[in-house]
Amino acid sequence: MFTDTHGFSAYGGSLSWNVSILLCPRLQNHNDRRLHVPSGIRIPEKLKEVVLADISLKTIEKGWAAHMKVADAVMSGRLSATAAIEMQGAAHHGDASFRAGHAHGLLLRTNDLLRSYTDPDYRREKLRYLNHNERTHQLQRQIRKAGSGSTRGRRDEELSAQSHCLALCTNLVMAYNTNCLQRTLDAWRKTLSREIDPAILRFISPMGFGHINFNGVIVFPFEHYRPQLLASARGIRARSPWH
């Protein structure tokens, strides 16, 4: 699973941990690669350059209940993880829920950094998954390059529609590649009695696009799906007091 934390990797790490997902961030800023520990812990002189004792456990305890409510909303599907992270803007930095999640996320990020530094197998697996994520961005850039050009001067509605279309095309490519890979594996298994070790499949990603021509037009049969697409809209109009 790959996601963008919109600059709130610490808060996003805590939120994902509470919904049973381990977030392994790729930290570009060198200052973010500090180790954060609870305040009051004695730091050896040799580690003072990389360790910060700036985590308040009382802050985590104070805002933990509110932070768990956000995690529960995400877990139950009432709120998307993206929306939950996007809401944590500058206006929420003083919120107890945000400060609790941020402090807890810094502890989780410290644990991830320590494990990455000391466990070669974990570091190798983490970098492999992060590289798969970068291939997703590369695929999106390739689709965008064959698209409609610059996004300057466009309205928010147009940018939102363009973003959704990009996500749809990306998912279509991934689904098509996954189907091709699965058909190949099934054919090998059926005709050649050849089984592929699951450990090898972890190295295969459905992000390839060299065999796909993006300079075309995708036509969807909207008439075929008209009842499903308009069902929710009819339901809203039926409940409206103006109709």
64-109 confidence digits (pLDDT tens): 999 999 899 988 888 887 788 777 655 556 688 889 999 999 999 8
Query: Is residue 219 situated within a structural domain?
Result: yes
Burial 195-207 (b: 16+ CB within 10 A, else e): eeeeeeeeeebbb
Query: Is residue 2 situated within a structural domain?
Result: no
Query: Is residue 80 situated within a structural domain?
Result: yes
- Final residue belonging to a domain, choices 67, 85, 118: 118
Residue 240 confidence (pLDDT) above 60: no
Do 104 and 139 share a structural domain? no
* Percentage of the chain lying above the pLDDT 90 cut: 16
Q: How many domains does the chain have?
A: 2
Do 99 and 17 share a structural domain? yes
Which tens digit of pLDDT belongs to each residue from 180-228?
999 998 988 888 888 888 878 878 888 888 888 888 777 778 888 888 7
- Final residue belonging to a domain, choices 96, 118, 140: 118
Provide the pLDDT for residue 38.
93
Domain that holds residue 195: 121-239
Do 204 and 151 share a structural domain? yes
pLDDT bucket at 62, cuts 50 / 70 / 90 = very high
- Return the CA Rg of the chain: 23
Query: Is residue 14 situated within a structural domain?
Result: yes
